[in-house]
Amino acid sequence: MKGNEMQEKEELFAFIERAERNVLEGKELERAELIRLLAIDPDSEACDRLGQAGRRVASRVTGDRAYLWGAMGVDYKACPMNCDFCSLGEAWGIVEPDHERDFSETEIIENVRDYAENKVRWIVLRTTEFYSLEVLSELIGKIRRAVPGRYEIGLNVGEFDLEKANALYRAGVDFVYHSLRLREGRDTRFRPDERLKTLRAVKDSPLKLVFLVEPIGIEHSNEEIADICLCAIEHQAIVTGGMARVPVPGTPLGVHPQITENRLAQIIAVTRLAGGSRVPDICVHPATPKAMCFGANVAVVETGSIPRDSCCLPKEKWNQFDAQTAGEWFEQAGYTLYAGPEMQ
């Protein structure tokens, strides 16, 4: 290695060390610092150093506690919003009319019970854009009565205002998954200002917010990723992290490959440093052991309608990734899996 290359390497190592130290001292990393961390070669020794820093910060912030996120897509239907990465887009013709279905209350409750019995802390019901919030509000009460436990329940739904956010909280909803997606309004048919209005409504209500940087693809710049990460922190997300765009054949973005495991792990490490003590937990999806070793302490187990695939799974888990597998991976990464925020 030439002298100048060695000097650049040492300067980068020092920058990572300084960023970690600042985070542990309670200082917030600036946008330019996040961009520099994201610009590190994901296959380099420097990125390994970054991952180690992310894991140490995770240990300090989380006490090495890991949690599971359980998602169930409750309606397998063509959606008129036609996001370029989503299998449910009506225009892509992947969801055939004869195969459309809404899961029954019994099926939903059975899946919630399965999650609750397998140490899933956050259980989210995911729907297409125009699913009735009134129906979901009634369903939440039925789930609470049918499935005891310390789990938290939430929704991943369409846009709503502060009045509706407060009504959802009164109905028993603990949290909402919502995000300003990468290239919102370009790769989606949503107006970014409408997404931001919903995020503000959640922030101004008693609901908690989960907001991942997503769906991350090879097409996204470091600047774009940093901006969405900061947006999640600004809106006081209790969980952030990174979600890779999974290429679905037949969708406009399905022709582009998925980001590498190393790149996703790098982004996880950066979101862990960016969140510091302000964001308690960092989620990776799809989960990988390396991302957990780089600072992710939350993983997602999915069932039902899957926007990242052309399938609909009434009972099976997507990609055969279940709670047991997640627990094993977390243990290998030095975490202990908990069902809730307090020790069990």
Domains present along the chain, CATH in parentheses:
3-337 (3.20.20.70)
Q: pTM for the whole thing?
A: 0.97
265-295 confidence digits (pLDDT tens): 999 999 999 999 999 999 999 999 999 999 9
Output 39-44 pairs: Cβ under 8 A, ≥24 positions apart.
39/222, 40/12, 40/266, 42/260, 42/262, 42/263, 42/265, 42/266, 43/260, 43/262
Q: Are 195 and 159 in contact (CB under 8 A)?
A: yes
Nearest to 285 by CA among 308, 305, 304: 308
- How high does pLDDT run on average in the chain? 97
54-98 confidence digits (pLDDT tens): 999 999 999 999 999 999 999 999 999 999 999 999 999 999 999
pLDDT of res. 342? 65
**Where does the pLDDT of residue 255 fall: very low under 50, low under 70, confident under 90, or very high at 90 and above?**
very high
Length of the chain: 344
96-119 confidence digits (pLDDT tens): 999 999 999 999 999 999 999 999
**Where does the pLDDT of residue 52 fall: very low under 50, low under 70, confident under 90, or very high at 90 and above?**
very high
Exposure class string for 10-25: b at 16+ Cβ within 10 A, else e: eebeebbeebbebbbe
pLDDT of res. 341? 82
